[in-house]
Chains A and B, each alone.
Chain A
Amino acid sequence: MQPNKDILTQVTELIKSLAPEHQDINEATDLVADLDFDSLKVMKLLEELEDRFDISVPLNLLPSIRTVEDLALQLQRIIDEE
């Protein structure tokens, strides 16, 4: 399954604003390994995503999200369900 382009663009843009400067970010970027997102940064990212898409992200999704693409796919699933 491919994530919706618009969601992917928005997610990438948001992550860019939280990631270290000059970091190259694409679909395969690993949020933890490549961007060193700690728990608090992840929470900040989730808040912005929830507000932007007006959704609520269930906690149990987090452990299976690694990359930007994983995150975009999960968001799309939530948006489609709501």
Chain B
Amino acid sequence: MLEATPTEQGLALRYGDFATLHEALEYAALGKTGYNFYTAKGKLGYALSYTELREDAIAAAQRLVGLNLERSAKVAVVAETDPGFMRLFYGCQYAGLVPVPLPASVRLGGHKAYVEQLRRLLTKCQAQVAVASQIFLPFLKEAAEGLAIRFLGTPDELLKLPKTKTPLQPSGPDELAYLQYTSGSTRFPRGVMITNRTVMNNLGHIIRNGAKVRPGDRAMSWLPFYHDMGLVGFVLSPMASQLSVDYLCTQDFGMRPRMWLTLISENRATISFSPPFGYELCMQRLGEAPGAQFDLSSWRVAGIGAEPIRPEPLQRFAEMMAPSGFDKNAFLACYGMAECSLAISFPPTGEGLQIDRVDPEPLAQNQRAVQLPPAATSPTQAKMFVKCGAPLPDHEIEVRDPSGRLLPERHVGSLFVRGPSVMSGYFGEEALTREVLSPDGWLNTGDLAYIADGSIVITGRQKDLIIINGRNIWPQDLEQIAESQPTVRMADASAFPVTCAGGEDKTVLVIECRETSPETREELRNEVRRQVLQELGIDCFIELVPRNTLPRTTSGKLARSQAKRDFLQRVAEGKVALPGIRDEIDCLPQLAVRAAAARA
């Protein structure tokens, strides 16, 4: 009978202190732990010990090298939650090649959009090899048509190729460990370049300072392998600290969120992370009183990351799961991004959510986060932010004003980070790299933050990123869908997020439209909405406006933030009906005043 790899390592725990991923796997392979894959209904489907994985990776590497690729050639792998991905990913490490995880996410009616996305990625990363399981291979083949790819097939087909006789030369510390494409948009992908030295630095910190791994730990994850939190946090970190992991595939989690909690209960997992939406999805699907149907008492580190963190839903989750043994102090609110491997800051473990209550007035007026005394005001009067802890030990952070001047504690500004976990740049994108990474190593995170008692507190985003259910959605993608319609011209669309009551982002797409016939306008609206759903899997609110309504910057590029203010203004004046965004309007002082005037 199939048995999951044990929690007990069977060797002395090493905290990620390796020069390369290859070295880390060589060590983990001496123990008994490994990766376990569960089916949609929670049955163990495959147990891949690190010992077996090492052998498989070497076998894959021997075939890859046999293809006579140049060193550091890119190997694109559709990153399904399966053993095949692991074999290829680590195979690349043994072969001195660079794995590029591709999204394994398909949507209803989304055939064309998915194939186009894969094709853009294959082209952008200059893939020499492209691998997918039987399930995804047809899409990959279609995407790769006409591209100069040396090998395209399944992991099994790769293993049928002849082995090389040349001894393997694994990737060294300064060679790329992988390219990560999630931080870019689907239409304009950007591949984050991470070397072995860089990722090992981050892994060491995640293991020692973040999750504070100790013997007896066991990880559980449903996060996709093509995302930084899934890949670095739950594929690489557990391996570099020789922990066993239990995996549920992302779609299966989406279908049956309770399986996440069931598998934690059954396997006595201690470490599991999710964007806030994962915790919220559990609550939605489990109903109001799930009682004591799980045993979550082993769950020591319940990490939260990848999207803005609001305390209320998490506090509700903790209350709801308390009868199942969930400890609210297990919550660990982290901050990070693929451009810094994964992690930038962690609070201490075992202390739960650290909330900073600030006065909303000075925050809105002059971007100062003035702390309110704990009991002095009702929660409605205070703005609550979650502290994401201190930056990683050998990393520096700075909060700067728009002119680049350093701001003191409790002043909101742009957050910059510098340190050994920061990426080398975006692959093949020098100009884009220069925009975010200065020659002296400072990475502009694109996030707005302030520092409180040494802890990073994220308040918003400067970059035009929309986050829906933990997924990054770039406005350019929505705008391009709009602009590809025959009746819409280039630069005649603007997309941005608005915050609804309850705090979640809603995506708004404003399109300039010359058409006057109601039928044509309705058709355009429906067509754009349908394409956005098929390509991005999100719903959006579409507003059609007359020509020359959208603001433009001097460069001709649309100013999304101005477009958003104008939109909120139209909502405030009752010209557009979008229920549920009252909150954000009332947060903008000038708008609230103008809105009141308009209502009067």
Contact = CB atoms under 8 A, between A and B. Distances in A.
A56 to B, nearest CB: 6
B317 interface: no
A65 B108 contact: yes
A13 interface: no
Contacts of A31: 108-109
Contacts of B251: 43, 59
B106 interface: yes
B150 interface: no
Interface stretch (B85-93, B161-169, B527-535): B527-535
Contact of B256 (A32, A36, A47, A64): A47
A33 B106 contact: no
Given A46-B255, A47-B256, A38 B539 contact: yes
B109 A63 contact: yes
A58 B135 contact: yes
A38 B533 CA distance: 6
A18 interface: no
Contact of B109 (A32, A36, A43): A32
Contacts of A43: 251, 254-255
B138 to A, nearest CB: 7
Interface residues of B, number: 28
A30 B281 contact: no
A60 interface: yes
B446 interface: no
B469 interface: yes
A68 B545 CA distance: 33
Given A59-B251, A60-B139, A36 B107 contact: no
A40 B40 contact: no
Interface in B97-112: 104, 106-111
B138 A42 contact: no
Contacts of A30: 109, 530
Contacts of B114: 63
Contact of A60 (B135, B526, B534, B538): B135
B529 A36 contact: yes
Interface residues of A, number: 24
B537 interface: yes
B40 A32 contact: no
Given A30-B109, A59-B106, A59-B251, A39 B537 contact: yes
B534 A32 contact: yes
A75 B391 CA distance: 50
A37 B138 CA distance: 25
A37 B114 CA distance: 17
B109 A40 contact: no
A24 to B, nearest CB: 16
Interface string B115-142: 0000000000000000000011011000
A52 interface: no
B106 A32 contact: no
A38 B540 CA distance: 10
Nearest to B253: A43
A28 interface: no
Contacts of A56: 40
A19 B12 CA distance: 54
A42 B40 contact: no
B281 A39 contact: no
A62 interface: yes
Interface string B355-375: 000000000000000000000
Q: Which of A31, A36, A56, A62: most chain B Cβ within 10 A?
A: A62
A12 B114 CA distance: 27
B111 A64 contact: yes
Contact of A63 (B40, B110, B254): B110
Contacts of B104: 59
Contact of B107 (A47, A50, A58, A63): A63
Given A33-B526, A39-B254, A62 B135 contact: no
Contacts of B526: 33
Given A38-B539, A50-B40, A63 B533 contact: no
A38 B538 contact: yes
A50 B41 CA distance: 10
Interface of B: 40, 104, 106-111, 114, 135-136, 138-139, 251, 254-256, 281, 285, 469, 526, 529-530, 533-534, 537-539
28 contacts: A31-B108, A32-B107, A32-B109, A32-B533, A32-B534, A33-B530, A37-B108, A37-B533, A38-B533, A39-B107, A39-B538, A43-B254, A44-B285, A46-B255, A56-B40, A59-B104, A59-B135, A60-B106, A60-B135, A60-B138, A62-B106, A62-B107, A62-B109, A62-B110, A63-B108, A63-B110, A65-B108, A66-B108
* 7 interchain residue pairs of minimum CB distance: A63-B111, A43-B254, A39-B537, A33-B530, A47-B255, A66-B109, A32-B533
Given A32-B107, A38-B539, A63-B139, 11 more contacts: A37-B108, A38-B538, A39-B254, A39-B469, A39-B538, A40-B469, A44-B255, A59-B106, A60-B138, A65-B108, A65-B109
